[in-house]
Structure 1
Amino acid sequence: MSAHGPGPGGRPGVAPGQKSMHFGASLRRLVRTLRPERPRLIAVGILGSVSVALAVLGPKILGDATNIVFNGVVGRMLPAGVTQQQAVEGLRASGHGQIADMVAGMKHLVPGQGIDFDALGRTILLVLGVYVLSAVFLWLQGRILAGVVQRTGYRLRQDVQAKIDRLSLAHLDAQPRGDVLSRVTNDIDNVTQSLQQTLSQLVTSVLTVIGVLVMMFYLSWQLALIALVTVPLSAILTVVIAKRAQGQFVMQWKSTGDLGGRVEEAFTGHELVTAFNAQDTFTASFETENDRLYRSSFKAQFISGTIMPVMSFVSNLNYVLVAVVGGLRVASGALTLGEVQAFIQYSRQFSQPLAQIASMSNLVQSGVASAERIFELLDAEEETPDPVPSERPAQVRGRVEFSHVSFRYTPDTPLIEDLNLVVEPGQTIAVVGPTGAGKTTLVNLIMRFYEIDAGTISLDGVDTRRMSREDLRDQVGMVLQDTWLFKGTIAENIAFGRAGATPADVLAAARATSVDRFVHALPEGYETVIDEEGGGVSAGEKQLITIARAFLADPQILILDEATSSVDTRTEVLVQQAMAELRRGRTSFVIAHRLSTIRDADLILVMEHGRIVEQGTHAGLLEADGAYARLYQSQFAAPVAEQA
């Protein structure tokens, strides 16, 4: 249900994203949302470990293949029939000491023997098998991880929807609808995409760094230390750049929500924007929001995008150092050519995941910025919980009593002060007054859309605050000036008024409220699909559908807030006949300016500045020549003259 806000001087809005959580706290909370997936995450870690372990073995095996080829090439250059040691001594004796050192460091060298193609073939098949198995385990990891991420997004959407159902109307009224929608859709989508793209890479990259580091130290601790020299430099540069980018990512997603709100306003009010030739005004405001989003997005992506080039430079620097020192060690016989080749591959493998982790920072920052906005919504103040156990009248007759009720939207702006009112069962109460007098606020307090500051509102002797909201609202039906229809058939929109309503119930409600008269003119009848905007039915017909919905609900208390304002004069006669039957035996609160709606009311309340300044019947209040008479002369005299 929706409700009108207060009159002038109403509640101030609260800017979305006004209080931003710390990046670390938001990231830890986002990680905690993955707890239900812990067993699958463990499986992801195991599969990733096996995949990485196999991938890390690949360069070592390829290095062995290189040694087989190189040993064969060098072996054929040496005389056959001598041992490796004898060949080394011969090279030294002939003055080739550096070559002798290199030959001495070569393993499994047989002088006079060429390339062992059988051994080379087995080694190549082995490395192919290793890489195939690594890819299979990586595929399984990705499949499981996709389910983990999508289920997390599913739970986030559930949590947000449940949270919105628990939020007070005051909080929702203070938030731009476009921004709330952006948090529910864009931000959750961004979080799931960020998790999908980062979790797999993060697990694989971290395991790769560990595995490669182990192999590097196994091959040569000296070269490993040289490779590690660039790691602190990479870490420092990444942290500095990431800190500068984070604020821009927060602004990017806040601007996305603001732009969504602007677009939503333009679309829902398209007819009025066109009628008042305000396209240029909306275009200008749209361009302002769009430009703000462009600038924040550009800065966020540009700043975070510098991480990859910086990491690439550091990686190449590391590659040069390893290649130079490794070549010298091969020449000295300390390492074989295959080991240096494997080490260079490990060096690249070591730098690549570090660069990937650094490049993921923009995805992580973007995802955490969206997560902050989602958590802000999840942490918003909720309605006060219902009492446990709750109370309810033994028999709901519809007696409503206001006793010394006070209410204000903001602490420094009084609205309703010390209001006393008793409405007996079956009475029709009309509430009139100027804009901002508190008419809609009065019925909102009955529904407990807002909580009163002082006094009590009771239903058949039971304080409504002692009742559960569900029990209270089950007894009340509302028809508002702003019609709300969801995308579905006319029958489904009417049946929304009562769970389990049968087609016969829907038809009876439609006939009682004159909906049946225009439905038969539609090609699909009651199966005609409409949406929030109406889709093929007029404004008056939409209002009739909402009235039929309230009729079907069969409540004990009716609230009609300007319910006939959009109904034409002919249709209004039909509606008033239906309403007269609907109000029979029920307590009704009618907020309306049309004389035909309030003329026959049992009691008319005249409100000004949150107070009831007059009450009585139509004739009695006219005779009193007070506030109601002045309102009558200004608003209702012309309609009466026309009817006469």
Structure 2
Amino acid sequence: MVFIILSIERGVSLKRLLKYVMKYKLRVIIPALTMLIAMIADMFNPYISKIIVDRVIEKKEYSLLSLLLLAILGITVLRAVFGYIKEYVADDLASKVSEDLKKDLYNHVQSLPYSYFDDMNTGELMARIGEDIDNIWKTVSFGFRLLLENAAYFIIATSILFYLNWKLALVTTLVVLPIAFIALKLEKEIGLTYGKISDQTATINTAAQENISGVRLVKAFAREKYEISKLLKLNNVNYDLNIEQASIVAKYFPLIEFLTNISIVAILCLGGYLVVKEDMSLGTLVAFIMYSGMLVWPMRMLGWLTNMLAQNKASAKKIFAIMDIVPAIKDNEDSIQLNEIKGEIKFNNVDFSYGEENILKNINLEVKAGETIALMGTTGSGKTSLINLIGRYYDVSKGDISVDGHNIKNIKLNSIRSKMAVVSQDTFLFSDTVEENIKMGKYDGTLEDIKKACECACALNFIEELPDGFQTVVGERGIGLSGGQKQRISIARALIRQASILILDDATSALDMETEYNLLRNLNTREEKPTTFIIAHRISAVKNADKILFLEDGEIVEKGTHEELLQLKGLYYEVYLEQFKDFNEDDREVI
């Protein structure tokens, strides 16, 4: 048992897990006390058996029998009652620890920046929050409790055995001690394998999650067989790892069983010899065998506990590895809270790099509160990267960005992001009602607020025509709605927020020209107009902006109003001609 305790001491992850456990001291103390009471009661059974053999059977003192049997019954009832309390409170403790771990892990993941999720897959995070925390639940509920219980049984039973007959106890101890060495080797080997199994589980989760989410694409391209084959290959790797784990268990468990059984044989042989020589009573031998069972049982459980603790150690290590990631973007100690934001934004010599790639170069831009800024350019020119810097979803590599005269690095993240509303190019809707999807922008929004936002987003009519109106449940990621409908719901979700800064990242690409025109007109005629950034590829979506930026290779190469850029006859003008090549010159001027 000592080697497992030392393993916990040297395992940083397990020590951190113990901190979670010790938050609930009462839930630790109660099972420990009930376990101790049940164990003390259990220690009387072998001694009562000794009395029954030595005095009732051999010396014919039958008057003691009823009292002794009543004592055994009382001990049994006592152990059952305290055993129930121990099991219930231990499970409650494990559930609390599991709850806290999930909460802390989920909260920490929520604090991580965009860049973390660029490199992390969903399946791995789900494996950490799901399977790995479940492994810890099992260990806290059963593993730690059994570890302490068996350690206590081992120590107390060994002490009693030496008290009864030190020679026989010495032989028994020498036989079972090598089990500790075997369990130590088992822990080292199986711990590495569990780490691999955990990683492979995350890989399988990722593949399954992506395949299920993209099932329509798989079917559209008739790739079912390929996807099944891919998952089977991953599953085969998982099978091989589990066989590797099983082979390690198979190598050591039979040896542990053999040594524990040999100890029982040694007790019977040597103990029987001592009884024959009358150096020990038969009742003492019976009690010795029962006490030795309390010694042997922990040794039998040692392999199983080692297996569980190794699994727990691998899971805890991966969970805390995520929790140890320091968010690259976080509030400074002297960050200020802005209760109100006007929406004045300034980019001053801003560069932005992602890894080794330079995305934005020397961006200089001043935006007044309430202005509409449009961004155009080819794919990969840096449009989305530019607007992602405003809310500090990424940090600038050089230069600075200010909002209302304050460097955004000196503003609390929640302060600025709570005053922003973003409609990303990847439209995402939750598997919930239309109303709840829109209320994500404003949790306390009334139905009147929702309808007003939907009317501005040109979404009210089609929503009211849905089977259950605002209570219609949309499928995962908005399945069942058209691209244009999803975009309009997303825009309504942003508008209900009544933010000071509104970002529309290619948010009208799925709308027809008439709907887009009406929507943009509604945005431009709002009473309290936010500072708005529009990324679009259509001239019709940007021509009424106060300022249009045309980006190329991460630089602003053209800047001005629609009319100014047409007169410049540069890249913007070329896009204009391409999109309106079927119109004559007079029609173009009207447009």
User: Given the two structures, how large is their TM-score scaled by the length of structure 1?
Assistant: 0.85
1:421 aligned partner? 365
Alignment of 1:483-502 (within 5 A): 483-502=427-446
Look up the SS of the partner of 2:177 in the other structure. helix
- The partner residue of 2:12 within 13, 16, 25 is 25
Which residue is 1:441 aligned to? Answer: 385
Q: Equivalent residue for 2:404? A: 460
Rate the CA distance shift 1:343–1:638 in 2: closer, same or farther, 3 A: farther
Written as runs of structure 1 = structure 2, the 5 A alignment for 1:224-303 is 224-303=169-248
Q: 1:354-503 alignment to 2 at 5 Å?
A: 354-391=299-336, 396-410=341-355, 412-503=356-447
Partner residue in 1 for 2:453: 509
Q: Which amino acid aligns with 2:51?
A: D
Q: Which residue does the alignment assign to 1:81?
A: none
Q: Deviations over 1:171-194 (max 9, x none)?
A: 122111111122112211221122
- How many Å separate the matches in 2 of 1:158 and 1:305? 37
- Shift of residue 612, structure 1, vs aligned partner: 0.7
Q: Does 1:317 align with 2:304?
A: no
2:151 equivalent to 1:206? yes
Question: C-alpha distance in 1, partners of 2:268/2:526?
Answer: 90
- Hey, what's the Cα distance between the residues in 2 that align with 1:520 and 1:613? 44
CA distance in 1, matches of 2:66, 2:337: 85
Indicate conservation of the 8 Å contact 2:338/2:416, yes or no: no
User: Aligned residues, how many?
Assistant: 579
Are 2:139 and 1:152 aligned? Answer: no
**Could you tell me which amino acid in structure 1 is paired with residue 34 of structure 2?**
L
Paired amino acid for 1:63: K
Corresponding residue number in structure 2 for 1:34: 21
- 3-state SS of paired residue (1:415): strand
Deviation at 1:631, TM superposition (A): 4.1
Inter-partner Cα distance in structure 2 for 1:640 and 1:59: 102
Q: Percent identity?
A: 30
Aligned match of 2:31: 44
Secondary structure, in 3 states, of the residue corresponding to 2:343?
A: coil
Task: Report if the CA contact (8 A) 1:307-1:359 is conserved.
Answer: no
Aligned AA (2:33): I
Instruction: Find the counterpart in structure 1 of residue 142 from structure 2.
Output: 197
AA of the residue aligned to 2:406: V
Task: Point out where structure 2 has 5 or more consecutive residues left out of the alignment.
Answer: 1-7
Change (3 A) 1:460 1:572: same
1:400 and 1:458 in contact (8 A); partners too:
yes
Residue number in structure 1 paired with 2:43:
56
User: How far apart, in 2, do the equivalents of 1:163 and 1:391 lie?
Assistant: 22
Q: Tell me, yes or no, if the aligned pair for 1:432 and 1:592 is still in contact at 8 Å.
A: yes
| Cα separation, 2, equivalents of 1:341 and 1:569 | 93
Q: 1:545 aligns with which of 472, 489, 493?
A: 489
Gaps of 5+ in 1: 1-20, 72-108, 110-114
CA distance in 1, matches of 2:219, 2:577: 35
- Is 1:65 aligned with 2:10? no
In structure 2, relative to structure 1, the CA distance for the partners of 1:384 and 1:220 (3 Å cut) is same
Q: Work out the CA distance in 1 between the residues paired with 2:415 and 2:339.
A: 12
Question: Which residue identity does 2:214 align to in structure 1?
Answer: G
For 2:116, the aligned partner's letter is: H
Give yes or no for contact 1:56–1:208 (8 Å, CA) kept in 2. Answer: no
> Counterpart amino acid of 1:29?
R
User: Offset of 1:122 from its aligned partner?
Assistant: 2.1
TM-superposed CA distance for 1:217, in Å, is: 1.4
SS of equivalent to 2:357: coil
Cα offsets for 1:411-448 (capped at 9, x unmatched): x3222222111122332221111222111000000111
Q: Paired residue for 1:128, among 73, 83, 92?
A: 73
Choose 545-554 or 396-405, whichever is displaced more: 396-405
TM-score by length of 2: 0.92
Matched, 1:304 2:249: yes
Residues 476 and 283 (structure 1), Cα distance of their counterparts in 2 relative to 1, 3 Å cut = same
Aligned residue identity for 2:376: V
- Further displaced range: 389-398 or 117-126: 389-398
The Cα offsets for residues 591-644 of structure 1, whole Å up to 9 and x where unpaired, read as 11123212222222111221111122334334433333344456x346869x99
Instruction: Please identify, of 385-394 and 320-329, the stretch whose mean Cα deviation from structure 2 is larger.
Output: 385-394
- Residue aligned with 2:63, SS: helix
Distance in 1 (alpha carbons) for counterparts of 2:80 and 2:465: 63
* C-alpha contact 1:433 1:631 (8 A) present in aligned 2: no
In the superposition, relative to structure 1, how do residues 558 and 146 fare at CA in structure 2: closer, same or farther (>3 Å)?
same
Q: Is the 8 A contact 1:513 1:548 kept in 2?
A: yes
Distance change in 2, residues 1:351/1:394 (3 Å): closer
Q: How far did residue 390 of structure 1 move?
A: 3.5
1:521 maps to 2:481: no
Of 163, 166, 179, 1:218 maps to: 163
How much does 1:369 deviate? 0.9
Q: 1:394 to 1:472 in 2, by over 3 A?
A: closer
Contact preservation (8 Å) 1:305, 1:359? no
Letter in 1 for 2:108: K
Q: CA deviation digits over 1:455-483, x for unaligned, max 9?
A: 11112222111211122123321111222
1:531 deviation in Å?
Answer: 4.7
Structure 1 residues 289 and 631, CA, compared in 2 at 3 Å: closer, same or farther? farther
Of structures 1 and 2, the one scoring higher in RCO (CA 8 A, sep 6+) is 1
CA distance in 2, matches of 1:227, 1:66: 23
How far, CA to CA, are the matches of 2:581 and 2:313 in structure 1? 60
